[in-house]
């Protein structure tokens, strides 16, 4: 369902679950007009503290072409791929976008992992966002800006897949038991030559943080 005519603080709408079972994924479509989406996209490219992502593989640190940035209410630590990041304070542009996705989804978030894919050749392998730092079965709001990309899900047991194309300025919500039962990925493609910025707003459990 397209929601391109929504204002920044319109009330949430009802959406259809994209998954057939064992989880909940809702695609809200485009949630801002094209001019606003382009302005946010450029601001994020210019102002976020982008760094190459790191993963520890067989004892060696590997750097990805994809870049990331991690922001939150507090200097939360977030560990994935055996590497730990410490969150930076919110920037005004991220606070605005957090307010937008909170209004649309009816959820609250305290952190954001941003990803920058320079072209379609950069993607993300199958994985689930089920790290111990994250609220179990909590909502994850994925806001896409820039190049349009395919996004896929695969059930961990049955292998059933489901895919959707994420548009510029669109919002996707993953919640419930999605991370327990489903993997997701951003498949690489040679047909996309423009960058894409993806903001994933999520909730860090304070109890999981170092004391």
pLDDT digits (tens, 9 = 90+) for 60-76: 777 778 999 999 999 99
Q: Is residue 96 part of a domain?
A: yes
Q: Is residue 14 part of a domain?
A: no
Name the H helices within the chain: 34-47, 92-105, 178-181
Q: Is residue 32 part of a domain?
A: yes
Nearest of 110, 90, 101 to residue 47 by alpha carbon: 90
Contacts of 154 (CB under 8 A, 6+ apart): 126, 160, 161, 182, 183, 184, 185
Cα–Cα dist 129/69, whole Å: 16
Show the tokens assigned to 64.
Answer: 């990805």
What is the CATH classification number for the domain harbouring 162?
2.60.120.590
Q: Is residue 111 part of a domain?
A: yes
Show the tokens assigned to 42.
Answer: 């450029």
Cα–Cα dist 160/210, whole Å: 38
- The count of structural domains within the chain is 1
What is the per-residue pLDDT for 15?
86
Band (pLDDT 50/70/90 cuts) for residue 173 is very high
pLDDT digits (tens, 9 = 90+) for 181-200: 999 999 999 999 999 999 99
Percent of the chain with pLDDT over 90: 78
Q: Is residue 3 part of a domain?
A: no
pTM across the whole model: 0.89
Q: Is residue 132 part of a domain?
A: yes
Q: How far is CA 22 from CA 51, 137, 138, 175, 176, in A?
A: 34, 12, 14, 10, 8
Q: Is residue 157 part of a domain?
A: yes
Query: For the residues 157-162, what does the mean pLDDT come to?
Result: 97
Q: Is residue 159 part of a domain?
A: yes
Determine the structural domain holding residue 67 and report its residue range. 24-208
């Amino acid at each position: 369902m397209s929601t391109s005519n929504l204002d920044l603080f319109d009330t949430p709408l009802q959406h259809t679950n994209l998954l057939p079972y064992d989880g909940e994924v809702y695609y809200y479509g485009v949630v801002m007009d094209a001019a606003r989406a382009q302005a946010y996209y450029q601001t994020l490219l210019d102002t976020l503290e982008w760094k190459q992502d790191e993963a520890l593989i067989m004892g060696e640190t590997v750097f990805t072409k994809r870049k990331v940035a991690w922001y939150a209410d507090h200097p939360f630590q977030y560990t994935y791929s055996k590497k730990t990041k410490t969150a930076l304070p919110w920037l005004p542009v991220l606070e605005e976008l957090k307010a937008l996705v909170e209004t649309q989804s009816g959820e609250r978030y305290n952190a954001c992992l941003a990803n920058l894919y320079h072209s379609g050749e950069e993607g993300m392998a199958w994985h689930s966002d089920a790290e111990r730092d994250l609220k179990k079965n909590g909502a994850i709001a994925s806001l896409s800006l820039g190049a349009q990309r395919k996004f896929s899900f695969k059930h961990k047991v049955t292998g059933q897949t489901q895919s959707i194309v994420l548009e510029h300025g669109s919002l996707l919500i993953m919640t419930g038991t999605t991370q327990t039962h489903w993997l997701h990925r951003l498949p690489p493609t040679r047909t996309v030559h423009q960058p894409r910025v993806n903001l994933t707003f999520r909730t860090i459990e304070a109890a999981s943080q170092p004391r």
